[in-house]
Amino acid sequence: MSSNIEVLVTGVGGITPLGADITQSWKGMVAGESGVTRLGEEWAAADLPVRVAGALPVDPLSLLERVEARKWDRCEQLAMIGSREAWRDAGRPQVEPERLAVVIGTGTGGILTTLGQDDVYERSGPRRLSPYAVPMLMPNGPAAWVSMELGARGGARTPVSACASGAEAIAMGLDLIRAGRADVVVAGGAEASLHPFCVAAFAQMKALSTDDGDPRAVSRPFDAARSGFVMAEGAGVVVLERAEFARARSARTYGKLAGAAVSSSAHHITASDAEGQVHAIRTALRDAGLGPQDVDNVHAHATSTESGDLAEARAIASALGGHVAVTATKSMTGHMLGASGAVAAVAALLTLRDGVLPATRNFEEPGPGIGLDVVHGESRAGAWSAGLVNSFGFGGHNVSLVVTREG
């Protein structure tokens, strides 16, 4: 494997609580809008302590052909929507099928199908189950369907590393190209797990905010009043290309995926660990050939939990110092779990393109120990040149990505 091989990003796509595509989602981030809303009346009977979520603003079925979409779990639908947008955005590269790979990560895969089909089984018996149940519930379904859509024969892979899954998928795409196994990789993450069971399970861990006030003010990364994260759904996808391949076809680029690192904290199944995060950040910087002083902005994992935000703040300060500007877009979207790291990577690339770092919504007073330059109030303009993306998951999964301007 050679880190001398440059990897460029030529396409981005996705769907988030802020918009049905990346253009709408990015516009919402820059404007400081919120996609967090109150749970609907259909949730009332679930007797949940949580009242808000980052649900999508559109029905995914309105963006797909119903004949095809009925074979897909909602997670697969979101992955397909994001991948199609990214592929179009990249100009639909003409690449040999064996040189095209797909890597789509997810934390829970087809959990909605699993729970829904179990209800059917309990209520009506085995003969009423959908013949599509297995391909709908399997976590590799999103990657498999996207590979078939694009005719990708260079591999269809699925990292499942909780909330770090989407970022790890992008790191894996970088490795595939550097190893000479692909010229183009479609990589990202998708998650659709807004279900009373999943919300209740996270609530039992005391991970979710039970704030019953204005939904738009509940997600508060790094803020002194943060009280837990807001569950959300969505997808983020990028198209990665070997630089020589992209330049040969005169592709438009967003920037370079300069480095990546994956570490495991081996510390606790759910608790954050600053030491493991520092290791991931420093390793990603070495991989990119950069020093701490070269990074000027961070798209933080920052879910809005008390201990998680504090651990990451310490990790950023230890690995980079105090000069970097930090944003936390989960303040606007909520936490899209396995999709969150991929969406953050897209946002980091758009920061480079547009010269604007979105402000962290609801950040009013830094929590104790949060000694960071957290961008708040208004988005910050600048000639941003190198961004770090952090993504961490239960199980001690730590992923850091480094994106830079091309050249």
> Which residue type occupies 139?
P
Task: Give the residues across from 262 on adjacent strands.
Answer: 399
Percent of the chain residues past pLDDT 90, beyond the cut: 95
Residue 12 clears pLDDT 90, i.e. is over it = yes
**How many other β-carbons are positioned within 10 Å of the β-carbon of residue 293?**
11
Whole-angstrom distance, CA of residue 219 vs CA of residue 227: 8
User: For the residues 257-268, what does the mean pLDDT come to?
Assistant: 96
107 — pLDDT class (breaks 50, 70, 90): very high
400, 258, 224: which is closest to 316 by C-alpha?
400
* pLDDT at res. 272: 86
Identified catalytic residue from 279, 335, 376, 397: 335
> Which residue type occupies 319?
A
Task: Dig out the tokens for 97 from the structure.
Answer: 């099928």
In the residue annotation, 323 being an active-site residue is answered as: no
In the residue annotation, 301 being an active-site residue is answered as: yes
> Which residue type occupies 287?
D
pTM above 0.75, yes or no: yes
Residue 373 clears pLDDT 60, i.e. is over it = yes
Percent of the chain residues past pLDDT 70, beyond the cut: 99
Is 41 or 29 the better-scoring residue by pLDDT? Answer: 29
In the residue annotation, 163 being an active-site residue is answered as: yes
Task: Dig out the tokens for 400 from the structure.
Answer: 């850091």
Cα 231 → chain centroid: 13
* pLDDT at res. 42: 77
205 — pLDDT class (breaks 50, 70, 90): very high
4 — pLDDT class (breaks 50, 70, 90): confident
Q: What is the mean pLDDT of the chain?
A: 97
* pLDDT at res. 407: 73
Residue 45 clears pLDDT 70, i.e. is over it = no
Identified catalytic residue from 195, 279, 299, 301: 301
Identified catalytic residue from 163, 279, 299, 397: 163
Whole-angstrom distance, CA of residue 212 vs CA of residue 260: 38
Residue 1 clears pLDDT 70, i.e. is over it = no
* pLDDT at res. 44: 74
Q: What digits encode the pLDDT tens for the residues 143-191?
A: 999 999 999 999 999 999 999 999 999 999 999 999 999 999 999 999 9
Residue 41 clears pLDDT 90, i.e. is over it = no
**CA separation (Å) from 82 to 19, 142, 402?**
12, 11, 21
Task: Dig out the tokens for 259 from the structure.
Answer: 């480095």
Whole-angstrom distance, CA of residue 15 vs CA of residue 242: 26
> Which residue type occupies 196?
P
Whole-angstrom distance, CA of residue 190 vs CA of residue 173: 16
* pLDDT at res. 163: 98
Exposed/middle/buried for residue 66 (C-beta within 10 Å: 0-12, 13-18, 19+)? exposed
Residue 40 clears pLDDT 90, i.e. is over it = no
Whole-angstrom distance, CA of residue 79 vs CA of residue 231: 18
78, 305, 96, 286: which is closest to 313 by C-alpha?
305
CATH class of the region 7-394: alpha beta
User: For the residues 195-214, what does the mean pLDDT come to?
Assistant: 96
